[in-house]
Amino acid sequence: MSSLNIVPLSPALGAQISGVDISQPLSQEQRDAIGQALLKHQVLFFRDQPVEPAQQARFAAYFGDLHIHPIYPNVPEQPEVLILDTAVTDVRDNAIWHTDVTFLPTPAMGAVLSAKLLPEYGGDTLWASGIAAYEALSAPMKALLEGLTATHDFTRSFPLERYGNTPEALAQWEEARRKNPPLSHPVIRTHPVSGRRSLFVNEGFTSKINELSETESEAILKFLFAHATRPEFTIRWRWQKDDIAFWDNRVTQHYAVDDYRPARRVMQRATVLGDVPFFR
């Protein structure tokens, strides 16, 4: 039996896990238990986990191949671990409800976020359950959305005017834009493991619903963005140094509250690639 202690934190999503040291290699039993907890709770929190980038990457890699972000700086000796440092990088795109890297053909399965330096107060992160949001929709609204697709665009969260201000940054942005043109994903996504359905649009990257007129798309997306982040579908985490959060990016979105300036906040993230979203 696994020695993990799992404490649910809210009805919609979230659980705190103890009884495991993420800095050490995990047994298959531990990996399986964490994977099952992620399926059930969608976002997992671990207190007091001081990890080096290589240890963080090793833990994340238990669950899939790792992504190297096209814009954010990374740890030089561990490029799969990106750095979110407010003293170095403009991270305003995190202060919006978003699902990570949905501009990819295979968006992230999940992400492992480690708190390295925190403000004295503020800097919380919220997560919202796309499963809870989908299940709360009326039957007619579900029927309308099923089978629709939406465009996801890299430039919505990484606009040229903020990420192309030097020759080096402009070259990096242009290369990222070339490699990540707008693409489409289903509005309702079926989880590839659990089979549960989830809303799969987010304000950070979703620009339009393809099968609707511009006016219809704007209205429906405005409704869905507001609906998906209703308080009853969310959880808010108050970080402590060396906390780790691990979330299922396929069925959640999140919002990093930008309320602590001019204090500094440093987080490190390892992103696990997923598969092509589908609906059935």
Identify the burial level of 212 via C-beta atoms within 10 angstroms of its C-beta, where 0-12 means exposed, 13-18 middle and 19 or more buried. middle
Q: Is 248 marked active-site?
A: no
269 assigned to active site: yes
Instruction: Give the active site residue among 41, 69, 93, 100.
Output: 100
Please confirm, yes or no, whether 100 is among the known catalytic residues. Answer: yes
* Four-point Cα dihedral 38, 17, 110, 243, nearest 10: 170
Catalytic residue among 41, 67, 98, 265: 98
The CA angle 110-113-116, to the nearest 5 degrees, is: 170
98 catalytic per annotation: yes
- Catalytic one of 69, 191, 250, 254: 254
Instruction: Kindly provide the residue ranges of all beta strands, DSSP E only, lying in the chain, ordered along the sequence.
Output: 5-8, 15-18, 43-46, 66-67, 74-75, 78-85, 108-117, 125-129, 149-152, 183-186, 188-190, 197-199, 206-209, 234-237, 244-248, 252-256, 266-273
The tokens for 73 are 């700086």
Instruction: Give catalytic residue positions.
Output: 98, 100, 254, 269
